[in-house]
Chains A and B, each alone.
Chain A
């Protein structure tokens, strides 16, 4: 009699929904956690200038003067240009004189960061175009498909030669 009554086991706790609960936690974390991978333009600055450092003379033909004035107006060697035109100018200069050219950047203290960033972006995209062309020609695939060694070789083949002059305080000059 006693045995017969307990022949059926105690019903187990229904844990089917625990999975759903932990799924909800998982999704909550996926949504709230900042998955944003930080993106941006990576730049290498020059070390601080030494006391007795003589500025190096560079042939004027190889230097491109890129300036941004207080009204975010972009000029390249004295001519007013758009960002697309700047890309084209840098492209042709770096194509002709791969390792000897210099792009000199100067910005006014009142320039907005957006304009400055667009300028940097335009210059980098010119170099990227050149590297892309070279990669297609010599490796037979695009820059994105290159191995790290190939990328390093390309970056050395078309170095980014950008010189940034410090912004003068007061902006009188």
Chain B
């Protein structure tokens, strides 16, 4: 029936399936890479705020040397109303603007010498916040010689 059979002797074996055992390991590697590279925002924002939009915004580099200050209304997400006291939050906790210089000094002490000079304060301020409060915070930052500030905003395309 098939005289050529002996020539194609190998074809009797089925095609070996691809070994995918190492694929999960590969994907896990990618997963760990992402877990390490992505910046997890460690502090929970306790104030309600919406940052303004701007055209000329730039990316903020070097996240190690960034101190976050949030200015917004106090209260959880549920309370949508315009009520609520304006509050200032530095990294994780709500602070009094007067305590900012001491806290900045404390943060600066924990940084490397290289990052100390690069220390940037990112101000995430609600659109409706009064400038009186913002400038009080800025004055306190000035006192602490934290002179690099960043007005955080979302970008709008021209």
Contacts and interface: CB of A to CB of B under 8 A. Distances in A.
Contact of A22 (B21, B28, B131, B142): B28
Contact of B130 (A26, A44, A110, A124): A110
Contact of B38 (A29, A38, A41): A29
B150 interface: yes
Contacts of A109: 130-132, 135
A116 B130 CA distance: 10
Nearest to B63: A38
Interface residues of A, number: 47
Interface residue tally of chain B, by bracket? Answer: 35 or more
Given A128-B56, A166-B135, A114 B128 contact: yes
Contacts of B31: 22, 25-26, 29
B41 interface: yes
A145 interface: no
Contacts of A44: 147-149
A37 B30 contact: no
B54 A41 contact: yes
Contacts of A125: 55-56
Contact of B40 (A23, A30, A34, A38): A34
Interface of B: 20-21, 23-24, 27-28, 30-31, 34-35, 38-41, 51-52, 54-60, 63, 66, 71, 120, 122-123, 125-132, 134-135, 138-139, 141-143, 145, 147-155
5 contacts: A34-B40, A44-B149, A68-B131, A109-B130, A121-B55
Interface of A: 15-16, 18-19, 21-23, 25-26, 29-30, 33-35, 37-48, 68, 107-114, 116-118, 120-121, 124-125, 128, 166-167, 169, 171
Given A47-B142, A120-B54, 7 more contacts: A16-B20, A40-B122, A40-B123, A43-B148, A113-B125, A125-B55, A125-B56
